[in-house]
A and B are shown apart, each in its own frame.
Chain A
């Protein structure tokens, strides 16, 4: 493959995997071939299988599986909780990133490392830990009982778990941008008479906005699909605290593959739309920050 030149009568349209420029470095055919084969076998073919199956169902059967009140309620719960958690993470993620980049305090390096805990800690471990903490007898849950707040086994519990899971996304997206932010801009605003708050709102925040939105979208996408940390704390009450991934698992356990396929495909479409949006956001971010 590496030996083909692009010029010549065959160079119409676009052909995937065609070298645009011959290179003296070896191994294009091997590495490209291996990567694409591996990607196809592990990811593309299985996903395509799901898509083909759902197309094979026909729109009527597909819709019948999706349109039940239980499924629709699960979508509502999944979206609402993921949105809420992503919003919480956007606010606190910005705060955490700001504090980590701009201030010095003892133990900063440890705190910085800890931010990645949700990436490293298995979701089931997080799930049982949060459930135990926030049940009415747990360390934190017991404190909330007198206030009339119940977290475990309610949608609030789902938001809690998703906040944990999504916490690093906003911090890690905003942090490098904040780090590279040109201090001179702030000094310029300051010398022009802006207050600190005005500087933040009119100079710093707009510069961080693409990163914040990207972080928000990443956290939201992750929350939408999350399963392990949620099922322990959610209580899984149909129409109240049942999330879409759980519904898929239940359909699979009952061997209702049609139902699982329809729900999963709908979910996948949302995920891909989000992925597209995230890609656009990241493109925007790159254009802003070079």
Chain B
């Protein structure tokens, strides 16, 4: 990590310049990252633990937490399966249209979350293409859990694939070919040779995917319908509480998500630190 550069040497900035640059960078990060994070916890606890506790155990809050877990619990494993399949196809084979596929996988990152939700309304909403048919068969996708899941899947779609593709690219196909020459079948090959090599990268991708899935706001907001206790995920619940000027409750629920974010960051850093060599370089962002 450039440790060698920290010691004084002819090439490098003067001590004053160094301190000034470090100071400015830390001040910037402090004001923009640290203070807002602290504010969430301070605001949540400013009326005491009792008020905090009743805010997070409020039935609507609890149902929002449940819904968030449910949606992430469906969307993340599905995107995991996609990520593994896409990475396998892209990194172990040469085929026409490969770079197109890789570009398309990244597409959701460049679409506004609001549009990510909206496209489903246009398909499955009442005025959507399949709206009348769904209505006739009494199936409701929008403003219900399936809609939340679809919007979340769209938004978190690239995470796992994006982490795995560069990682598996670096690893090449040598070990898989060796396994084939030793008589391993397809499933054994993946389970015993490929998976152990990519497990930490996979976990890393799942972690990021999950953080985004639980915290997604814009896409989910569009397809939710904001029905309390039914289609409100935690981020949406926060919005409602905030707009009702119930700041303590809003920050209390927000603090749960902030804790999730912190856990994600700690786990991510731990993975990078411990298994840095087994993660792809420059992935994850």
Contacts and interface: CB of A to CB of B under 8 A. Distances in A.
Interface of A: 14-21, 23-28, 30-32, 34-36, 38-39, 42-47, 49-50, 53, 92, 95-96, 98-105, 109, 111-126, 128-130, 132-133, 139-140, 163-164, 167-169, 172-173, 176, 179, 183, 186-187, 190, 196, 221, 224-228, 232, 244-246, 248-249, 252, 255, 257, 260-261, 264, 267-268, 271-272, 274-275, 278-279
A35 B82 contact: yes
Interface in B29-86: 29, 31-37, 39-40, 43, 78, 81-82, 84-86
Contacts of A31: 84-86, 88-89
Interface string B97-128: 10011011111101111110011111101010
A73 to B, nearest CB: 18
A190 B11 contact: yes
Nearest 6 A-B pairs (CB), nearest first? A122-B215, A225-B112, A228-B217, A104-B6, A16-B97, A227-B218
Contacts of A18: 95-97
B195 interface: no
A42 to B, nearest CB: 5
Nearest to B262: A120
Nearest to A24: B180
A116 B37 contact: no
Nearest to A18: B96
A125 B252 CA distance: 10
Nearest to B113: A227
Contacts of A249: 114, 221-222
B242 interface: yes
B215 A179 contact: no
Contacts of A111: 26, 29
Contacts, number: 323
A23 B92 CA distance: 8
Q: Which of the listed residues B100, B113, B127 has the most CB atoms from chain A within 10 Å of its own CB?
A: B113
Nearest to A257: B127
B107 A43 contact: yes
A261 B122 contact: yes
A95 B29 CA distance: 11
Contacts of A45: 123
Contacts of A101: 1-2
Interface in B212-248: 212, 214-218, 221-222, 234-236, 238-239, 242, 247
Contacts of B242: 128, 232
Given A96-B28, A121-B261, A268 B114 contact: no
B21 A267 contact: no
**Binding site secondary structure of chain B:** helix
A120 B137 CA distance: 39
A103 B122 contact: no
Contacts of B196: none
Nearest to A171: B285
Given A19-B94, A27-B88, A46-B123, 11 more contacts: A23-B94, A39-B101, A101-B1, A101-B2, A114-B265, A120-B264, A121-B261, A122-B261, A125-B215, A246-B114, A249-B114
Contact of A99 (B11, B25, B120): B25
Contacts of B281: 176
Contacts of A279: 103
Given A14-B96, A24-B180, A163 B32 contact: yes
A133 B107 contact: no
Contacts of A43: 104, 107-108, 154, 157
8 contacts: A17-B97, A19-B95, A25-B176, A25-B177, A45-B123, A49-B119, A129-B251, A249-B221
